[in-house]
Structure 1
Amino acid sequence: MHKINIGLSEEQRRGVCDLLNRDLADAYLLLIKTKKFHWDVIGPQFRTLHELWEEHYETLTETIDALAERIRQLGFYPVGSAEGFLKMASIKEENQEIPTATAMVEKLVYDHELIIRNLREHIDQCSEQYHDEGTADFLTGLMEGHEEMAWMLRSFLEGESVQADDVGVRKEPVSATN
């Protein structure tokens, strides 16, 4: 194997790749959860959420590939098993119960925000501890993507949702003059 000579020691690259593998594991579990919710969502928000989550899992798929390739660029191998993902991830697997659409959104907001907090720490570690500004910049881009997805999901929660059971619906009769 050709020795990698990019200005980072093997120890620095190994430390960075450990962080990247943790981010990869979180992204994979978030992808699984997003796909599952995409399949299972029901109710008046079905189409909106179904389409939003399709966009999100496509973005997450690209993120996963980019993380794995960054690990390879640094001379190591990405985690690639369900067991490995579960061991390294900070995100927890979803149980088998099917939550309401709103609860699904809340769970995904929580996970995106957890990933954002982790990425902030990893960016600092890449810069300060491992002196790898390239990976710090790479992770900053990933963090911004999660910030956007979390914002979209929070906006859904903050908006007025459609109520199927007439909760919060105006009960006044509508007349021709209204």
Structure 2
Amino acid sequence: MRSINIGLTDQQREGVIALLNKDLSNLYLVLVKTKKYHWDVVGPQFRTLHQLWEEQYETLTETIDACAERVRTLGGYPVGTMEGFLKMASIKEHSGDIPSATEMVARLVQDHEQIIRDLRDHVEQCSESFHDEGTADFLTGLMEQHEAMAWMLRSFVEGEAVRADGHSPSLNEKTAVGV
């Protein structure tokens, strides 16, 4: 890396770049999984999931570019091979099977929640260990995006009745209306 004078030491920037490359790897892997499920989904939920996943993979594509550009901004180079992504990612691919639509959603929820946990840890490391508030802020924004994606997917599989006041109906209310 060339000497960059932005108020961070080379070691701080290298630490942040390593975190960003892990995040980039997770983002790329969840993009591939989302696209694959977009192509393979069948059943009564086809149209809804097909459209939702198209929206999500378009957002992920923009996010991946922003993450790679953040790495470059700090003087590093983003990981850019499938081998590299698979080595650095904390989420795993599920090659060799085509699950049901509900299982596809459940797997993506797990992946987004893992990404959220990793981002939460990386935000703290960027701020506390590396004193890079700019990247901490950037990662906070990514975390919020993934929280929204996970919520949308989680809402799809939860399917529990909720009253207008936001609470779940009691057992008596459920049996009275046949829920």
- What is the TM-score when the length of structure 1 is the normalising length? 0.88
Q: CA RMSD in A?
A: 1.5
Local SS of the residue matching 1:53: helix
Structure 2 gap ranges (5+): 161-177
Deviation at 1:133, TM superposition (A): 0.3
Local SS of the residue matching 2:92: coil
Structure 1 gap ranges (5+): 161-167, 170-178
Q: Which residue of 2 aligns with 1:153?
A: 153
What does 1:39-54 correspond to in 2, within 5 Å? 39-54=39-54
What does 1:74-93 correspond to in 2, within 5 Å? 74-93=74-93
Identity percentage over the alignment? 73
Q: Which residue of 2 aligns with 1:127?
A: 127
- Equivalent pairs counted in the alignment come to 162
- Larger deviation, residues 89-98 vs 117-126: 89-98
For residues 34-81 of structure 1, what are the alpha-carbon distances to aligned partners after superposition, in whole Å with 9 as ceiling and x for unaligned?
Answer: 000000000000000000000000010011000000000000000000
Deviation at 1:82, TM superposition (A): 0.7
2:16 is the alignment partner of 1:11 = no
Q: Which residue of 2 aligns with 1:172?
A: none
Local SS of the residue matching 2:127: helix
Local SS of the residue matching 2:35: helix
- What is the TM-score when the length of structure 2 is the normalising length? 0.88
Deviation at 1:2, TM superposition (A): 5.8
Deviation at 1:6, TM superposition (A): 0.3
Q: Which residue of 1 aligns with 2:62?
A: 62
Separation in 2 of the partners of 1:115 and 1:3?
31
Counterpart amino acid of 2:43?
G
